[in-house]
Structure 1
Amino acid sequence: MRQVKKSIDRAMRLSWNALPKGLQANVRPLIPNQIKPATSPVGEPPENSLLSVIVPVYNVRKYIEKCLESILSQDYKNLEVIIVDDGSTDGSDQVVEAYMSRHKRVRMLRVNHAGNGTARNVGIQAAKGKYLTFVDSDDIVEPGAYTTMINQLKSSGSDFVSGAFYRQKGSKKWLPQMMSEIHGEDRIGIAVDDFPEILRDVFLWNKVFIREFWNQSVGSIPEGVLYEDQETIVRAFLRAGSFDVLQQPVYTWRIREDNSSITQQKGDLNDLIDRMRAALIVTELVEIEAKAETKRAWYVKSLGEDLRLYIDQVPQATDAYWDVLQSSVSQLYAKAEPDVFSLLPVADRVVVSLVSEDRRGDVENVLVSFRDNGRTFPVRAVNGVLYAEPIYAKELTPQLPLHLLQFHPVDTQLKTRLLSISWADTDTVEVRGAAYIQGLDASNHPYKTHLELLNTTTGDRLTVQATASPDRWIDQVSGDRWNSYAGCVFSATIKTSDLLSAAGKATPNGQEWSLLVSVDSAGISETDVIRVRDGEKLPFQLPTGKAGNRSRVVAQIDRTRGLRFRVIRYGSMASQVTVSGRTVKIRFEGSSNIPENIYVKSGEDELLSSVTDSPTGRVFAVELPVPPNGREVAWDVYGQSGTGKPHFVGWPGASSDPSGLPPVGGALSVFPTGYGYLRINVRSWRVTASDCTVNQDHSALVVTGTSAYLKAGNEMMLDLILATPRSYISPRKVSFTPGSEVFTAIFPLSSDRWGHGNATPETGHYKLYARTIDDNGTVRRHTVRAVGALAQSVPAEHLTDRLRIVLSAEDRERSFVVKVLAPYQLNERGPFAQQQLRTKHLSDSTEIDPEAVLFESFAGKSATDSVRAISDEIGRTRPDYKRYWTITDHSVSVPKGCTGILIYSADWYRILNTVGTLVNNNNFPHYFRKREGQVYVQTWHGTPLKKIGNHTPVANLSASYRRLMEREAKFWDLLIAQNEFAGETLPRAFGYLGNVVTTGYPRNDVLHDADSSNRRSKVRSALGLNEDTFAILYTPTWRDNVRTAQNRFDVVNYLDYEEIAEELGSRFRVLSRGHHNVAGQRKTADRSTYIDVTSYPEIADLYLAADLMITDYSSSMFDYCGTEKPILFLAPDIDQYENETRGFYFNFRDVAPGPLLSSTSEVIDAIKRLDSINSEYQERYSAFVAKYASLDDGKAAQRLLESFPHSPAHGGPVNQTA
């Protein structure tokens, strides 16, 4: 009987859901009680039945506390938290026991380690609640989640409810694209056949279930396997009479930064086996219980997004991994109906087909192409049918059947972007945006764009005229290297009076108008909202226009609901706000709509104002307290009359017009919010920037701002600094205007930091900080915000011949940021422009210049290494040669007589293709092909201890890089080796069969020439080292297995600089030299216990300056040993590095020319007894030098050039040998 009733109710709900939203409110009273809104009516208490929260715990001591706090702080209080400890060994249970002692709602059960399925089932059996939910112990439940979901179930009568979720890695938190696709709107009282795509939401933890439904229809969770939630959730979807899908995020799913969670083990064979087993079991369930549309949705999910991360592992996978993957995919592929494949995007369709056909080599070819060229592609029409033309298709044998490349609706992704929005007057807003179908180049497939405003409450529509406004900017940010969408930019003018009053009726407060964009191209029509705000063009908070008649329209944008215009009607509007000290006065003019009382509120704190009437209006005054500990406190302003509801007080002015408000930059700041409501922000001390210009000769940045105090305390302003995590720009001068709080700071845009010539700052996003110092000498940094004219004018760009400066105000706080960028021209920016340059220049047959040489070191990050020594020698012997250096930006100083060429610029592509000789210590990009007549000299960058190239463990080297180096080695005409060991090892590692010259390393010549002593003195002086300073050079290498949240190689630093300084004293100074692979990730700005020398141009200078080197497995040891100065090896992870991460070419423990240490304390002890260590290792050290550095005598570069009769030193090209 219950099921019959649910079927009737569901049919009524679906009929109601199908109505326009404007009619739903009128019809709702006729529908049974189940479809009431989720929020409880006034006076009716929310649902308060017991909720059982099941939390399996296994070795999550690092995360469990935040997880439990998020559960116990929920406003739904009637819950039991059942912790099932799954045999933790890291003390997680102790954390839980501490919570149990303080919270009666928490209890813990213990089981032997058996996995999440068993732990959850044990928890379910013990649960007593009417409602049931689950939490993973390293995740977070969003505030208010359980109240929202349980009230929703009470109002809908559904069997369970599913909310959206965030993902989080480190400090970054975001709403996944999938959430806008399947949780983009509320869907109440539906079944799986109404929305089959919901099968993508196969997670237990973002749902609350009716326990009765769970017991009757879902049952126990699979045990002893991973991905146990897949089958469980699909059972629930298939068997529910109805369920609810909510747009609101209720949960945060953490991605562990140490990659230790179950869902981060895609390359593990057991993980794959369990995932494929789950997929095949659920497929059988779907085949039995689902209808055709739902079956299709399951196969699309299983063969598409579920497989991507596993297929990505194929290049590094074992044969066993491939066999399991191939077998499982083949089974799914065979079961799927043919129409399933037209629902898979081209990339998934192609790769899954290749896997099913057991074409592993072609799968790897496609994956390498994805990494090198991206997943986008051009589209062409054949007999009226559109087909994708991905670049990898030409490389596959046999060729792909045409039907796999057909451009289906799933491939027609409409991409939208808001480029600008401005208010011409109170009634007029001007919008510029872009809308294009990815793959359809506007120059080949003309577009028609239509705009419409939709009232999301009433369903009313208004047509808006779109005008074509071509702009190449969109090609810089589209991410598509094959198609131009410059012709897809449009502009439009919207009359806000039309939105405030539609169909003769005033639009109520809070209603929204979404801007719908429809495009037609190549016979395809797509419609969507504008989802992306261009962060380079627009501030985080969109500008607001003036209000009229106590109302206005404000613009908002997010990725879920897109660009929309919200009607705001104000209960009252202030006319003037003044500030004096801590007192704010708010004036209202006229005789109507003036509140009787004004109060300000911050959280739970409220302050009532005093009131003074005048003939022209009323003035309210309120004194605000000074926030403690330098915090900023925001106070919202409310008005109220009689027994009426309080309302936010509005401000009539546009966000760009400060008239009537206090001057910007004060410690007490008054401003309108994005809705146009008054808000007061209070800090005891605030620093703001109101103007920033580049001076006339482009040599400096001039910042004007205010440093304002309510209460000075014991802290005073020291200076300002522009800083990234790894670099900083100190001001040349900071001055205050006499008698005021206004300052001017001048920041140089070039400097000679190391005595190697003027260079620009390193590229990066420099945030402006004010540095303060207190009575104890503690220095702190405070973010400086953009205000006033500066906030309204940014983003703003300044382009010089050496720099591109972009001024911006970022994040909600409008922090002032100076982006220092390489000075690329418009036709060099973005992937589309880059592909155009490659096509133009790298296929050019312009004559090769035999007297031109291009030098490159570490992809232009420096002008150093053996490449530098060869450049200097050619400059000495053949000054008529044109010497070019690849540089990433103009922070890289090039040798005298050379020309720096910006990598990826048009000039760089041209020179790469036309110089007679190429000298590199690493590799050129994947698209480089050496021309006939060019000579390529490879110096490499060190004698290898750790395995490299083809000898690197497969899992630690991407297929793209492996193939690049295999190809590069075929282009080399000459390989330079420091010693015989390297001369034998390097060719094997790279599969190189050409000439090898074992002549010592040119980069070490400066260590052994007659001027080395004078050079040491000059370098130490440039570094600020006194004669008696003991300089310790720290040169750790990078680790393949240590990566950032962005999957870049991360810094590994085992040396505690503060401990060194504390234990050894000020005479000892550490010089920290990061590996070039992690230089961009280092965090060294504003450090005082060491000197960051990562950006110092020449490492050999640092060898000279140092008195001791500390390293680990870096090739620097083979160079530094030639100085015969001591070396310590800080290598606490040597076992892992040798046996798992990389491996060594020889038994390092037996030959290391210094002690292997595992901690900073051991390093300190070794330094204190350095003389005895030198004696202890003297024999081993001498043997090490004899084997690896005996040819480093100061003349390697000279020998290298003289050893070839047709070398540049003698005026001719080297013969090709490869």
Structure 2
Amino acid sequence: MHRRGHSSLYRPVFGCCTAAHSEVLPEGAGAPGADGASMSDVSSSGDSRHRRPALSVVIPVGGSPTRPTALEGAAPTAHIPSAEGIERSICSVINQSLQELEVIIVARVPGAGDNNASSDHAVSAAVSVAQRLSEQDCRIRVMAEADIATGVETAEAPLLTVLDPHDTVAAGAYEIMTSQLSNSGSQAVIGAMCPSRSLNPSRLRRRRARLVDVLDALEDPLMGRLLARTELWRAAVCPDEPVIEAIVIKVLMAARMIDVIDYCVLQRSSCRDTQDTDDGALEDGIARAQAIVRTAASTPALLSRLLGAWMRDEVVDLAIRAVEALPYESGRRLRDDVGGLLPVVSDKAWSLLPLLDRALVWVLAYGTRTDLEELIGSRIEDTTACPIQLVEDPRAPLHAIPPVLDRIAALPAELLTVHASDLRLIATGSPQWRTPYCLEVRGLAYVRGLSCDDSGSLFIEAFDDDGALVAKGRASRKRALNADVEADDPWHSHINEGYTAALWMAGERADGKRVRLRAVLTIADRTTAAWLPDLPEVPDGPAEGHGAGGGVHEAGSARPVEVTLDAACIEDGILTLEGRASQTLDPMIIRAHSQRGDYELTAHRVRTDGWRVVADLYDTALASGEHVLTWNSGSEHSGPCLAGVFISATPVELAGHIRSVRLCAGADRQVALTVMPPLTAFERSSFGRAQLVSRAPGSLKRSLVFESFDGRSTGEPPAAILADLLAHGLDAPVWWTVADGATNAPQGSTPVVRGSRAWFEALRTARIIIADDHLPEWFYKRPGQRIIRIWRSMPNNERVPDAPSRTARLSYRRLMARQVPQWDLLLPQTDAAARDLRASTGYTGRTLVVEQPRSDGLNVGLLVGDECKRQVRAWILDVLAGES
């Protein structure tokens, strides 16, 4: 492949090019493949003699004559990859370590009869990229006006796979899969997908297994991770079956023996899972499900597994979109189509879905729109965690009790049974060899919605690559202070569900071999499991000193320079970081990099024995949120800061009164620094917030709370109202919500950090609340409280609760429906805005017009007129005096 100023031509692995093309590609045209190399980086050994490829990879682009037709007027462009996407996909194949392959691009090239301009343009761009790449590598063929059947029929290799053009193949995947089939003699092999959609994907390999024995490997989409013998594909494709998913299932059903590997062979694109809301995309989803039912009807176990995965991965999302974005008629047709495909409630397909998902799918097909909105609203506003209790019932010792079910029509009893999908074990683990014979694993293991008092024993198991158990140890529980922050469970605390386990095993049994770890938790009469990181390498000597130094290298080493973070603290609002470098770096600059830009930390010491930098947490230039720590020493030396020993296993949180900091290490040891409000772990957790909301409040106080854009603003008009009150002798306490300690509250008010205990107490006990934005969704006005709502924006720019579902999201409509009746005084921007707001929100209370917006070149906002301030002041003083 050619770049400007350089020339590099692919050498074909088989066959020969008819000409040595010398097209000059645009800058950066060689997109990176799965292993980080671009096509221009790949050169393949070979000669001009024709050699049969070992693998054929068919990539369909756009539609084909056999693809299901979308509804009239729809634009199913979601199935057409971008030019960048198709290039990434093709390059990930060409850059495989298995070079003896061919890539067959089958494409529907737009013709004169096509009337969808956006679809035509997308297909043309994708096909142009494929054609350009085919001119650079003879292994790539582009077949215009062809379908998958044509591509399969023309394939030359004995093995074949079909790849979605949105996805990429992991480095080395095809060599591993073809070698697996060569060694086992099976007809098909299934690899893993990243990220997996399965609630608990299996990581055990299977060899020469029957289809019924590998059903757990079918929960993720098969396209792209199923590689099979070409004759099976040729027998599966036919003009009567236009849906690729059905073809893939036919191939799988025809294979007598199937291998399953746990190697991640497919990187699924995030854009592939972004669902469109047009009728064409919805019709396509229904067509896939209908094809699944047609194809797998003769194998009930397979059909249940595939339908369950379809309900979990697609129908739940369809239900949400039916409420959020679809016109009524489209939503009604969707409900009818889904209802015609769902299995009976006793079918095992339902067990693949968590309970609240089961409820959502059932109500979509058979319930009312009101109940559907209630279920979806609960997911958004509350949680997707389902509370589960252990009860004294030998037939059903586990009961699920989500409160939202009390607000909708009764569901079939079969849907309320607790399944394995409701008991998903969430586990982390950090394994470390203490001696060559003792492996210690520390981590956290819990089930969302289940109290630690209702769970039983926890075991850590070790398996070899063949699936044999080589060691097992009982875990002892310990406290994990940040567990509730990670758990996102409003029902129960999990701080007592950390663990430590010791596994005794001979080092020689693990040396040089892959050993996988699994956590297994007993709950009543059943168990639930989760896989942990693989076993680390066995140390050569005693544990003392093993891994010491945080990976720092000696000066003069040929290995790259490493800069490690070894210590951190906060004192008086100053964050101090200390670390070491593997060689002298002068100068050396430490930066916190985020999407908002770079923040340079102030260097206090940079020497050969270590460095120290500080950051002022009062400085708003250091934005809240996550940053990546990087170092720089001149134009040619830079890199990420790596985690030292003190944060190698678990994140470290540093509490401060201005802002807090969290330090954690990724899989590559790169340090992430998160700047947070000064909240405790309890205040930041879902469980803590639920406790603070449900706790009985104290009596109302003669005080005021100002809420301005979630604590991010201290300007007008709230500040003007406060200044006027203070100028006229206000003698009541005033609280002002701030995002963190770096935000200054206006003079005369006391700052209270949003989310803190004090903030919850202030909002729930203040006599008057003045807000220019929505109050928290959990808030309900108490008897005696009064709310002044300032409406800054014009109505035509604000989505109001009576707007159609396609213009206002469900969460917004529900929030407004709750909060508008709680307003006591509305301050709109203009008289016209007041009329529109009354009409659109249903507000019937008192209004006072703030005034016209100002724009003086320096400030943009609202001016609060003297008369408005006088009336607001009189109203507030009357309320505080108990006369309102």
Q: TM-score range by the shorter chain?
A: 0.7 to 0.9
Instruction: State which of 754, 761, 764 in structure 1 corresponds to 2:625.
Output: 764
Aligned 8 A contact 1:761 1:891 in 2: no
What residue in structure 1 maps to residue 641 of structure 2? 785
Quote the offset at 1:529 in angstroms: 4.8
Q: Say if 2:544 is the partner of 1:510.
A: no
TM-score by length of 1: 0.61
Q: Say if 2:196 is the partner of 1:185.
A: no
Count of aligned residue pairs for this structure pair? 800
Quote the offset at 1:810 in angstroms: 4.2
What residue in structure 1 maps to residue 691 of structure 2? 836
Write the distance in 1 (CA, Å) between the matches of 2:707 and 2:637: 38
Structure of higher RCO (CA pairs closer than 8 Å, 6+ residues apart): 2
Quote the offset at 1:211 in angstroms: 1.9
What residue in structure 2 maps to residue 139 of structure 1? 167
Q: Please, which runs of 5 or more residues in structure 2 have no aligned partner? A: 1-50, 63-79, 110-119
What residue in structure 2 maps to residue 489 of structure 1? 498
TM-score by length of 2: 0.82
Q: CA 1:162–1:865 in 2, change beyond 3 Å: closer, same or farther?
A: farther
Aligned 8 A contact 2:484 2:681 in 1: no
What residue in structure 2 maps to residue 98 of structure 1? 132
Write the distance in 1 (CA, Å) between the matches of 2:510 and 2:699: 71
Report the AA paired with residue 858 of structure 2: A
Q: CA 1:240–1:440 in 2, change beyond 3 Å: closer, same or farther?
A: same
Aligned 8 A contact 2:177 2:189 in 1: yes
SS of the residue 1:332 aligns to: coil
Aligned 8 A contact 1:421 1:432 in 2: yes
Q: Say if 2:116 is the partner of 1:108.
A: no
Q: CA 1:832–1:760 in 2, change beyond 3 Å: closer, same or farther?
A: farther
Instruction: State which of 535, 538, 544 in structure 2 corresponds to 1:564.
Output: 535
Q: Say if 2:436 is the partner of 1:404.
A: no
Aligned 8 A contact 1:199 1:234 in 2: no
Aligned 8 A contact 1:134 1:204 in 2: yes
Instruction: State which of 157, 161, 177 in structure 2 corresponds to 1:149.
Output: 177
Aligned 8 A contact 1:266 1:309 in 2: no
What residue in structure 2 maps to residue 53 of structure 1? 57
Q: Which deviations, in whole Å up to 9, do the C-alpha atoms of 1:1066-1119 show, x marking residues without a partner? A: xxxxxxxxxxxxxxxxxxxxxxxxxxxxxxxxxx8xx5537xxxxxxxxx5xx5
Quote the offset at 1:915 in angstroms: 0.2
Instruction: State which of 239, 245, 253 in structure 2 corresponds to 1:230.
Output: 245
Aligned 8 A contact 1:1207 1:1214 in 2: no
Quote the offset at 1:425 in angstroms: 6.1
What residue in structure 2 maps to residue 86 of structure 1? 108
Instruction: State which of 302, 306, 327 in structure 1 corresponds to 2:314.
Output: 306
Q: Say if 2:477 is the partner of 1:475.
A: no
SS of the residue 2:443 aligns to: strand
Q: Which deviations, in whole Å up to 9, do the C-alpha atoms of 1:619-651 show, x marking residues without a partner? A: xxxxxxxxxxxxxxxxxxxxxxxxxxxxxxxx9
Quote the offset at 1:975 in angstroms: 1.1
Report the AA paired with residue 869 of structure 1: A
Write the distance in 2 (CA, Å) between the matches of 1:141 and 1:409: 31
What residue in structure 2 maps to residue 799 of structure 1? 655
Q: Say if 2:851 is the partner of 1:976.
A: no
Aligned 8 A contact 1:203 1:229 in 2: no
What residue in structure 2 maps to residue 1046 of structure 1? none
Instruction: State which of 238, 255, 263 in structure 1 corresponds to 2:270.
Output: 255
Quote the offset at 1:194 in angstroms: 2.3
Aligned 8 A contact 1:705 1:743 in 2: yes
What residue in structure 1 maps to residue 85 of structure 2? 63
What residue in structure 2 maps to residue 682 of structure 1? 560
Q: Please, which runs of 5 or more residues in structure 1 have no aligned partner? A: 1-46, 112-117, 167-174, 501-505, 532-556, 558-562, 574-650, 670-679, 711-715, 752-758, 775-779, 1008-1099, 1107-1115, 1120-1191
Aligned 8 A contact 1:828 1:834 in 2: yes
Quote the offset at 1:718 in angstroms: 7.4
Q: Which deviations, in whole Å up to 9, do the C-alpha atoms of 1:1039-1079 show, x marking residues without a partner? A: xxxxxxxxxxxxxxxxxxxxxxxxxxxxxxxxxxxxxxxxx
Quote the offset at 1:366 in angstroms: 0.3
What residue in structure 2 maps to residue 1019 of structure 1? none
SS of the residue 1:954 aligns to: coil
Q: CA 1:490–1:733 in 2, change beyond 3 Å: closer, same or farther?
A: closer
What residue in structure 1 maps to residue 4 of structure 2? none
Quote the offset at 1:160 in angstroms: 2.5
Write the distance in 1 (CA, Å) between the matches of 2:318 and 2:427: 30
Q: CA 1:84–1:69 in 2, change beyond 3 Å: closer, same or farther?
A: same
Quote the offset at 1:951 in angstroms: 6.1
What residue in structure 2 maps to residue 195 of structure 1? 214
Write the distance in 2 (CA, Å) between the matches of 1:789 and 1:472: 19
Q: CA 1:69–1:345 in 2, change beyond 3 Å: closer, same or farther?
A: closer
Report the AA paired with residue 184 of structure 2: S
What residue in structure 2 maps to residue 499 of structure 1? 506
Aligned 8 A contact 1:691 1:705 in 2: no
Q: CA 1:49–1:310 in 2, change beyond 3 Å: closer, same or farther?
A: same
Quote the offset at 1:966 in angstroms: 1.7
Write the distance in 1 (CA, Å) between the matches of 2:218 and 2:601: 57
What residue in structure 2 maps to residue 542 of structure 1? none
Write the distance in 2 (CA, Å) between the matches of 1:975 and 1:937: 6
Q: CA 1:255–1:724 in 2, change beyond 3 Å: closer, same or farther?
A: closer
Q: Which deviations, in whole Å up to 9, do the C-alpha atoms of 1:501-521 show, x marking residues without a partner? A: xxxxx5363245555544333
SS of the residue 1:107 aligns to: strand
What residue in structure 2 maps to residue 1208 of structure 1? 876
Report the AA paired with residue 594 of structure 2: T
Write the distance in 2 (CA, Å) between the matches of 1:934 and 1:514: 58
Write the distance in 2 (CA, Å) between the matches of 1:425 and 1:973: 69
Q: Which deviations, in whole Å up to 9, do the C-alpha atoms of 1:519-540 show, x marking residues without a partner? A: 333x233153553xxxxxxxxx
Q: Say if 2:592 is the partner of 1:722.
A: yes
Aligned 8 A contact 1:134 1:205 in 2: yes
Write the distance in 2 (CA, Å) between the matches of 1:819 and 1:306: 34
Write the distance in 1 (CA, Å) between the matches of 2:528 and 2:346: 29
Write the distance in 2 (CA, Å) between the matches of 1:370 and 1:916: 31
Write the distance in 1 (CA, Å) between the matches of 2:683 and 2:482: 11
Aligned 8 A contact 2:788 2:823 in 1: yes
Aligned 8 A contact 1:52 1:133 in 2: yes
Matches within 5 A, 1:746-757: 746-751=614-619
Write the distance in 2 (CA, Å) between the matches of 1:158 and 1:490: 41
Report the AA paired with residue 661 of structure 2: I
Quote the offset at 1:867 in angstroms: 1.7
Q: Say if 2:84 is the partner of 1:216.
A: no
Quote the offset at 1:327 in angstroms: 1.2
What residue in structure 2 maps to residue 1080 of structure 1? none
Write the distance in 1 (CA, Å) between the matches of 2:463 and 2:153: 49
Write the distance in 2 (CA, Å) between the matches of 1:303 and 1:944: 39
Aligned 8 A contact 2:327 2:806 in 1: no
Aligned 8 A contact 2:801 2:812 in 1: no
Write the distance in 1 (CA, Å) between the matches of 2:879 and 2:528: 64
Write the distance in 2 (CA, Å) between the matches of 1:655 and 1:918: 58
Instruction: State which of 326, 340, 352 in structure 1 corresponds to 2:335.
Output: 326
Q: CA 1:213–1:771 in 2, change beyond 3 Å: closer, same or farther?
A: closer
Q: Say if 2:858 is the partner of 1:1105.
A: yes
Quote the offset at 1:165 in angstroms: 2.5
Report the AA paired with residue 308 of structure 2: V
Instruction: State which of 82, 99, 109 in structure 2 corresponds to 1:77.
Output: 99
Write the distance in 1 (CA, Å) between the matches of 2:518 and 2:838: 60
What residue in structure 2 maps to residue 860 of structure 1? 711
Write the distance in 1 (CA, Å) between the matches of 2:187 and 2:466: 28
Quote the offset at 1:728 in angstroms: 5.2
Aligned 8 A contact 1:762 1:891 in 2: no
Q: CA 1:717–1:981 in 2, change beyond 3 Å: closer, same or farther?
A: farther
Report the AA paired with residue 78 of structure 1: E
Q: CA 1:308–1:796 in 2, change beyond 3 Å: closer, same or farther?
A: closer
Matches within 5 A, 1:272-421: 272-287=282-297, 289-290=298-299, 292-316=300-324, 317-333=326-342, 337-338=346-347, 340-341=349-350, 344-380=353-389, 384=393, 385=396, 386-396=398-408, 398-418=409-429
SS of the residue 1:178 aligns to: coil
What residue in structure 2 maps to residue 988 of structure 1? 839
What residue in structure 2 maps to residue 960 of structure 1? 811
Write the distance in 2 (CA, Å) between the matches of 1:179 and 1:916: 47
Write the distance in 2 (CA, Å) between the matches of 1:967 and 1:342: 35
Write the distance in 2 (CA, Å) between the matches of 1:978 and 1:831: 36
What residue in structure 2 maps to residue 654 of structure 1? 545
What residue in structure 2 maps to residue 441 of structure 1? 451
SS of the residue 1:847 aligns to: coil
